[in-house]
Amino acid sequence: MEKLRLIGKSGACLLSRSLTQRYKMSSATPLLLTQQKRNYADPGKYIQVERDTDHEEIAVVTMMKNPRNSMTKDFMTEMNTTLEKLENDSSCRGVILTSSIHGFFSSGLDAPEMYQKSPEYISAFWRSVQDLWMRLYGSRLVTVAAINGYCAAGALMMALSCDYRVLAAGNVKIGLYAVNLGIVSPFWFKELLVKTCGERQAEMILQLANLFTPEQALKIGMVDEVVPVEDVVNKAREELVKWLMVPDGARVITKGMCRGPLVEKVRAKQEEEIATFTEFINKDAVQNAIGRLMATIKDGGIAKFIESVKSTYRCRMEKLRAIGKSGACLLSRSRSASQVYKRSGATPLLLTQQKRYYADPGKYIQVERDTDHEDIAIVRMNKKANSLCRDFMRELIITLEKLENNQSYRGAILTSAQPGIFSAGLDINELYQKSDDYTRTFFDTVHELVLRLYGTDLAMVAAINGHAPAGGCMLACFCDYRIMSQGDFIIGLNETMLGVVAPYWLQEMLANLCGKRQAEMDVQKGTLHTPEEALKLGMVDEVVPPEDVFNKAREELVNWLKIPDRARTLTKQIQRGALLDKLRARLEEQAAFEAENINNPITQEVIGGYLSKLKSKKLKHK
């Protein structure tokens, strides 16, 4: 043990003397090398620390703030200084974070601390949140969360910042509900969720404000183990002992390489983010929601509050619309909203999208308002095979634009009026023996559709009632949620089978849904999946009988629309803005690349052969 300690035992503490250069070379700076010293409250009021009797290098940090370990500024300050002292203690190598409050790990950020407070107080409060997160996430200690009760919002932040999470089985919930208060989670929390659960799950968690059962949390990777509540701490200790078998020097450097860049990113934007949060939290809509939360907690708890937000949302719709109804549409009219987007690093589509001339809608696209839910539009594609020719895509673009600009619409279901087919993808006839200018214009239209659909402020659900290869898969995957029909159908990106290279933005989108490894295999092999395979991979979210696809899509969309639009839309833009901005900055370059790829003689030969086969099949059927 002493030898290990000399090698690099105490991580950031000893690394500050001997391994600083290695961190610099890895672009990861250990937190304690740059963390400023602050004045903290005396520890002991809310946090209890004791050494494990069997493993002296392990500290058990127990939260004990009645009634729910709510995270006040003083609570977080005490937690921060407790962790700092443990990091500076060379005899401590690992921490178990748990709670002494029956049924609660922590209820998250303390609502009264954010209600009717001065901007100065709110700024100090949010700084304490950031400091605690940077301390815990960037700690040289091995940290294991023993989650022995309810864990939501800010408590989830603490748990996810640990290296490992053990959750109690039974009637326990874990998740995030900030969006129900109109609060947009910070970018670093989004990245934390992405690293833990993947892009797709993170997007849904942040927008839908779901609380998960232990089994659900385990399935999506939010926690690592689920055990009976009486075994949580022992299991956490058992896991921590395994981690401590690894030499500290290499482990701490590796952890710094993985986590350091995000910590540095937060530190660089700390003051800017504090200003953004302070502005957001003091808005009337958010303050009203926090007030309701406080009142409801007294009457029945947080779960009751979340249910009350969803059940009363339609009654409050006009008020919310006046405040900031449809995200990017109405937010584009307000200077303050534009600033919020700039701070988040995400540019809403409608703030920058140029107006273009489009074909008159109605030839290929049918739109009707749902009879039971007037804020839902049903968008039906109605062209043979729904192949994406240039005019078809233009009509779909203008349809979406009109829906976005109509304040009475908040969501849309994208489906097909063609039996057995959702969309066959890009119209191959428009890619064969065309001029470079025509092909470039074609892909300009593709990109415009991508920007419109992927960046829309509408909540979009794809009701995939048939085949969805290539561009059909693209349309579905750019929606917020996908429900596919059971049956002999296929979905996937099979562009390479025609000699076509799937563009980087399509590959990134697929990686967000299915993971990088699966996306890499799919785009290279041109794999088409059955509905059941697509569900397993995360390409679609549900598979139901054909007769239930539309109704299930509507049911899901209604759930999405229970979330306040303003917070949901801003959250969506933070999640998707980076890819949208990347594409927007490279439009001409990308269109030129795709046109060159399509008009390559080898690709044209493959496309020509494919069209000949289609023609032969049609003649045989005749």
Pick the CATH number of 350-616 from 3.40.220.10, 3.40.140.10, 3.30.465.10, 3.90.226.10: 3.90.226.10
Q: Label residue 22 by pLDDT band (50, 70, 90).
A: very low
- pLDDT tier, 552 (very low <50, low <70, confident <90, very high otherwise): very high
pLDDT for 305 equals 46
Angle of helix 154-161 relative to helix 119-137, nearest 10 degrees? Answer: 20
pLDDT digits 0-9 by tens, 558-579: 988 888 787 788 888 877 888 8
Q: What is the pLDDT of residues 182-240, one digit of tens each?
A: 677 788 888 888 888 887 788 778 777 778 899 999 988 889 999 999 999 999 999 99
Q: Which residue has the higher pLDDT, 527 or 459?
A: 459
- pLDDT value of residue 299: 54
Could you report the per-residue pLDDT of 283-293, keeping only the tens digit for each? 887 788 778 77
Segment 127-175, tens digit of pLDDT: 999 999 999 999 999 999 999 989 988 889 899 999 999 999 998 899 8
- Specify the higher pLDDT residue, 431 or 247: 431
Please state the CATH superfamily assignment of the domain spanning residues 2-175+213-265 in this structure. Answer: 2-enoyl-CoA Hydratase; Chain A, domain 1 (3.90.226.10)
Domain layout of the chain by residue ranges: 2-175+213-265, 276-344, 350-616
Instruction: State yes or no: pLDDT of 62 exceeds 60.
Output: yes
Say yes or no to pLDDT of 619 above 80. Answer: no
Model confidence at 64: pLDDT above 80: yes
What distance lies between CA 338 and its chain's CA centroid?
21
Write down the pLDDT at residue 210: 76
Q: Tell me, what's the pLDDT at 179? A: 64
Instruction: Give CA separation, 563 vs 169, 177, 335, 480, 575, in Å.
Output: 28, 10, 24, 14, 16
Q: Mean pLDDT throughout 611-617? A: 77
pLDDT higher than threshold 70 for residue 315: no
Answer yes or no: is pLDDT of 5 > 60. no
pLDDT at 77 over 80: yes
CA angle, 500 as apex, 496 and 501 as ends, to 5°?
85
- Write the DSSP symbol of residue 109: B
Measured distance CA(550)–CA(527) in Å, rounded: 26
Per the listing, tokens 């390479």 go with: 496
> Helix crossing, 565-585 with 317-324: angle to 10°?
40
pLDDT at 526 (0 to 100): 80
β-sheet with 225-227: strand ranges across: 47-51, 58-63, 94-99, 142-147, 164-168, 225-227
Is pLDDT above 70 for 6? Answer: no
Residue 533 has pLDDT above 60, yes or no: yes
* Matching fold, domains 2-175+213-265 and 350-616: yes
Least confident range from 149-158, 370-379, 380-389, 567-576: namely 567-576
| Region 296-323 average pLDDT | 47
Confidence class for position 246, pLDDT limits 50, 70, 90: confident
Question: Which amino acid type is present at position 371?
Answer: T
CB under 8 A, 24+ apart: contacts of 186-194: 186/273, 186/277, 187/273, 187/344, 187/345, 187/574, 188/133, 188/262, 188/265, 188/266, 189/157, 190/571, 190/574, 190/575, 191/262, 192/137, 192/157, 192/160, 192/161, 192/262, 193/160
Contact by Cβ (8 Å): 477, 521? no
Residue 275 belongs to what H/E stretch?
helix 270-281
Mean model confidence pLDDT for the chain: 79
227 SS3 class: strand
Of the candidates 16, 73, 12, 7, which has an alpha carbon nearest to the alpha carbon of residue 39?
A: 73
Write out pLDDT tens, residues 82-120. Answer: 999 999 998 999 999 999 999 899 988 888 888 888 999
Amino acid 620: pLDDT = 56
Kindly report which listed range (351-360, 383-392, 448-457) carries the lowest average pLDDT score. Answer: 351-360
Summarize the confidence of residues 261-266 as an average pLDDT: 88
The Cα–Cα gap between 479 and 452 comes to 11
Residue 311: its pLDDT value, please?
47
Tokens of 609: 């052969």
